[in-house]
Amino acid sequence: MKIKTITCHNVYNYGATLQAYALQHFLEMQGNEVEIIDYAPAYHDPLNCWKIPNNSRVKKYADFFFPIHWAYFIHRKIKLLRTVNKKRLEKFHVFDRTFLHLTSEKYVTYEQLKNTPPRADVYIAGRDQIWNYAGNTGLDPAFYLKFGDKKVRRISYAASFGLSEIKIDFKETIENLLGGFDAISVREKTGLKILDDLNIKDGYHVMDPVFLLNRNSWLNIACPMDVSAPYILVYDFFQNDEKIKKMTFFLSDRYGLKVVSVNDNGKLSYADLNICDASPQQFLWLIANAKFVVSNSFHATAFSIIMRKEFFVYPIPKHNNQSRMVDLLSLVGLQKQYDITVEDSELSITIDWDEVDLKLEKAITFSKQFINRFIS
């Protein structure tokens, strides 16, 4: 079976990159010929400072007053020159060239993809927030498979709206974009509710693609770093989360552990070691060899579960949709690891991993069955 998938594979994010690889590799293990459509619109380029995201407060003013757009561009360019980590970007490029099987043709616009679509028996859209209309992908027809021969089977796998509901102004647009799928699966239970609100009654709830591969499959591509154990791994998107900082201090003092931070946006003042240029393979290794993982990242949490690592996870400040985190932790019975304080009487640092794996395996089996059912 020839399968072409489309996702946000080139955004230099650990979760996005590794889940793209996970679905590709799983499908290949089932005997399929798989390629990821090399769709790289300008708004995905981290070096593109001109495009203003749909959810930016600046956008509604910039669309009517051109000097504001120029001011935004200059601000973004200056910030980018200060923060972009070229060494890290190159490591992501190496990962893409080594592990991701991309189409020979690179598509930079939806029109190009629509006019010369790659041939396939099945198209799969999915993984992560491709249907979040607050960003640019959520209104891009490419991520709703609006291209290619109508005879090609179309499914989504673990797609996410990234929101708890669709505003009424966007409902008709999103409902129309979702037309034409042979099967739709989403990553969050809130996604099922959104589908129901859009009069789509036969959606499926499946696991994030990283769970399609087992622990050994991930360890096989993990790449060691010169970091001595034991340590606490901190992955804080914004480097200033007080809850993460407090828990990290508590664990460090209690167990005499050093603190290792992995991030590309800057350094943690309280970390003993800051790693700002880890590759996706090194990111896996850092989690696999940590004593504890403290983060506000969904995929850091997912890989902590896969690697059987004690972890504590916190909501991202001012981010009103944490359903993917809550859904995952509820599924495996680890709600107590979420948004917990050091004073909490139920603070637990011992997880029954056998019990977790039993619960996880059932959901993973269902997810694999969904894929095999609808691609055949």
The whole-number mean pLDDT for each consecutive block of 10 residues of the chain, a chain of 376 residues, reads: 94 92 98 97 63 52 50 49 70 95 96 97 90 87 97 97 89 95 95 94 96 98 94 90 94 96 87 95 98 95 97 83 85 93 73 95 97 93
User: Is the preceding peptide bond at 141 cis, omega within 30 degrees of 0?
Assistant: no
What pLDDT, on a 0 to 100 scale, did the predictor assign at position 7? 94
pLDDT of residue 76: 52
pLDDT of 225 reads 96
- For residue 77, the model assigns a pLDDT of 44
Set out the domains of the chain in order of their start, with CATH numbers.
2-47+85-213+364-375 (3.40.50), 216-344 (3.40.50.2000)
**For position 25, what pLDDT does the model report?**
98
Report whether 314 contacts 255 (CB < 8 A): no
pLDDT, residue 203, reads 96
The angle at the Cα of 321, spanning 75 to 250, to the nearest 5 degrees, equals: 85
At residue 3, the pLDDT reads 98
**Neighbouring residues of 232: CB distance < 8 A, sequence distance ≥ 6:** 248, 251, 252, 257, 258, 259, 260, 290, 291, 292, 293, 294
Residue with tokens 């309280």: 270
Which residues lie across from 273 on neighbouring strands? 260
- Model confidence, pTM: 0.89
Distance of CA 51 to the CA centre of its chain: 21
Q: For residue 83, what pLDDT is reported?
A: 46
